[in-house]
Amino acid sequence: MKKILVCCNSGVSTSLLVAKMKQEAEDRGLDVDIEAKPLADAVGLLAGADAVLLSPQIGFAQGSIQEVSDVPLAVIEPDVYARADVGAILDSAEALLNA
C-alpha cells in the first residue's frame, strides 16, 4: 500500500478533501492510504510517505521540504484545489507515485 500525504496550513479543510479523495481512490481500485496533516506535523511524517501533495496556501514550503526529503512532492493547482477536483488531484498523486 502506498501512502499519500496531503498537507495544508491546519489540516482542517484538507481533511474534507481527503475524504473525497479516499472515495475516488476506492472507486479506482487503488491501494493507497491518504492522510491530511498540517504542515507543522508533515515534516515528521515524510519518511513514511510515498508522495506528498501541498495545498496551494503552503506551496511556498515546497523548496524547504525538498531540502530535507527526497519524497516525490507537488503543489496542488489553486483552481483544482478550489473546485475540490479530487479526480485531478488523485491523478497528480498517481503521477508522483509512478515517477
Helix (H), strand (E), coil (C) string for the chain:
CEEEEEEECCCHHHHHHHHHHHHHHHHHCCCEEEEEEEHHHHHHHHHHCCEEEECHHHHHHHHHHHHHCCCCEEECCHHHHHCCCHHHHHHHHHHHHCC
pLDDT (mean) for 63-87? 94
- Active site members: 8
- Please state the pTM of the whole predicted model: 0.93
Domain total for the chain?
Answer: 1
Q: How confident is the model at residue 40 (pLDDT cuts 50, 70, 90)?
A: confident
What CATH number corresponds to the domain at position 93?
A: 3.40.50.2300
- 45-63 residue pLDDT tens: 898 999 999 999 999 999 9
**Residue 77's domain spans which residues?**
2-97
Inform me whether the pLDDT recorded for 11 exceeds 70: no
Grid cell 496551494 in the structure block, residue = 56
